[in-house]
Amino acid sequence: MTAYAITLGLLFGSFLNVVTYRVPRGLSIVRPGSHCTNCGTPIRAYDNVPIISWLVLRGRARCCKARISVRYPLVELMSGLFGWAVLRCIVLALPAETPWWRALGLFSIHLALGLGLLAAALIDISHMILPNTITVGGTLLGLLTVPLRPGIGWLDALVGAAVGFLMVWLPFDLLHRLLRGRPGMGLGDAKLVMLAGAWFGWVGAVTVFMAGAVQGTIGAVVILLVQGRIDEPEAVTEERRKLVAAIEAAEGDERRELEEELARDPVGSKPESGWRKSRMAFGPFLVLALIEYQLFGEAIVNGYLEFVGWQ
Ligand SMILES: [Zn+2]
């Protein structure tokens, strides 16, 4: 079972690399098959083995010797470990009388959730976008799988999703727009906390949001201490430059539409100087908190309730 879980994690991790490379670039994830992103040569199966091929090729493509980022084997490693963690923390924690099909179903949906979240975090780090396919798709998966998952009912999941979304949308989007004229957080963050609620109820949504905020603050302090400043990702600067150029070239209605799009975008203006105005993706920290809650949540919440004497 351990070998199966890790292998499945590794294979999905390999696929995840394809997804995070192609989706933000608007390319198909099925066609063409794996090819070198530098020279276009198709990659042979034996050069496409998760982690091992990267080590054997010592981080360089066989075709043109272009450097292959260490990010690829790292993502595969994380996915393999995640497959193992889902088995240990979720599947093996089920009561012994759980039928095999239910255990397999739970393994599959939790692996899909964790890897989808990992993809969202990677895309958010480089593009400051959380794709709807993952945030809304993950929310739907959470709602649809309620009958399969122990300890949660339809009402818990629906209330959780609503609380999660409103908790971020009301103060950080609506209120912020009224006061400052621009949203303080992307809607993607609100949809990610909505996902947390659909999977883990309102307690899960609140815990994930708090834990994400705490870890995000620690992360920002660490980056400031190491780098002295927080830079926005290059791709974000580039995408804004393109949109501004398109506005300059457009006229009339089209121009107005593009200007509105820019004004709605939380990263639509150049970041102001000074660390208090720094711009950082919050998604990866929410994802971290979500995965922590997914694997250890029940234990943490019950431990806390016991500690304060509620149970
Ligand atoms: Zn090549």
- Within a domain: 87: yes
CA of 208 to the centre of ligand 1 (A): 41
Q: Do 307 and 195 belong to one domain?
A: yes
CA of 45 to the centre of ligand 1 (A): 15
pTM passes above 0.75 = yes
Q: Do 298 and 196 belong to one domain?
A: yes
- Within a domain: 186: yes
Q: Do 10 and 86 belong to one domain?
A: yes
CA of 68 to the centre of ligand 1 (A): 10
CA of 38 to the centre of ligand 1 (A): 5
Torsion of CA 56, 59, 65, 67, to 10 degrees: 170
Q: Do 286 and 206 belong to one domain?
A: yes
- Within a domain: 251: no
- Within a domain: 228: yes
Domain span at 309? 128-232+271-311
CA of 33 to the centre of ligand 1 (A): 14
CA of 53 to the centre of ligand 1 (A): 14
- Within a domain: 215: yes
pLDDT 10s digits, 64-123: 998 988 989 999 999 999 999 999 999 998 888 999 999 999 999 999 999 999 999 988
Q: Do 279 and 162 belong to one domain?
A: yes
- Within a domain: 250: no
pLDDT 10s digits, 211-253: 999 999 999 889 888 887 777 777 778 888 888 888 888 888 8
- Within a domain: 114: no
Q: Do 159 and 284 belong to one domain?
A: yes
CA of 238 to the centre of ligand 1 (A): 25
CA of 54 to the centre of ligand 1 (A): 14
Task: State how far the Cα of 164 lies from the Cα of 159, in Å rounded to an integer.
Answer: 8
Q: Any idea what the Cα angle at residue 135 is, between residues 134 and 138, rounded to 5°?
A: 70
Task: State how far the Cα of 239 lies from the Cα of 129, in Å rounded to an integer.
Answer: 11
- Within a domain: 242: no
CA of 242 to the centre of ligand 1 (A): 29
